[in-house]
Amino acid sequence: MTQHLSDKKQKLSEEEVLGQAFWALVHHYGFTREQQAGLLGIPNYRQRLNKLDSEKIIPKDVDKKNRVGLLLGIHKNLRILFPYNREVVYGWMSKPQSALGGLVPIDFILEDPVYSYERMAIVRRRLDYIRCAG
């Protein structure tokens, strides 16, 4: 008796789905391990980050899920704003942006680790505004 491929597929956990999205995005954006840790709000421990990356997961924590959600929202807005220019999309977070008063978004987010979540939300809201107002 043969099983269909769909029967063999296991259901991915929320952390696995978000982890796959997170690790794909941070690699596309070219973020360093330090930046990856900052975006997740975890200490920059190389071994732990390598393990999370190799397994394509994120820590099981509501804060981490929300952080990935904010990053996905930022990415979605950039893809809508620049639908035909992936170079602009993937370079946007690493270049000074007038929407942030000339600051570099990734530097703005990670400037104060205690408030990195709130700073990610600010970047997301500014892009929401630009997308909806434009």
pLDDT of residue 3: 52
Give the relative orientation of helices 33-40 and 116-133 as an angle to the nearest 10 degrees.
90
pLDDT of residue 1: 46
Structure tokens at 80: 């809508």
Residues 18-68: tens digit of each pLDDT:
999 999 999 999 999 999 999 999 999 999 999 999 999 999 999 999 999
105 vs 6, more confident: 105
Residue 75 and residue 61: Cα distance in Å, rounded?
Answer: 21
Residue 28 and residue 128: Cα distance in Å, rounded?
Answer: 21
Residues 60-118: tens digit of each pLDDT:
999 999 999 999 999 999 999 999 999 999 999 999 999 899 999 999 999 999 999 99
pLDDT of residue 4: 53
For the CA atoms of the chain, what is the radius of gyration? 16
- Evaluated on CA atoms 55, 48, 69, 124, the torsion sign reads negative
- Answer whether residue 8 shows pLDDT above 60: no
Domain boundaries, the chain: 13-133
- pTM recorded for the entire structure: 0.89
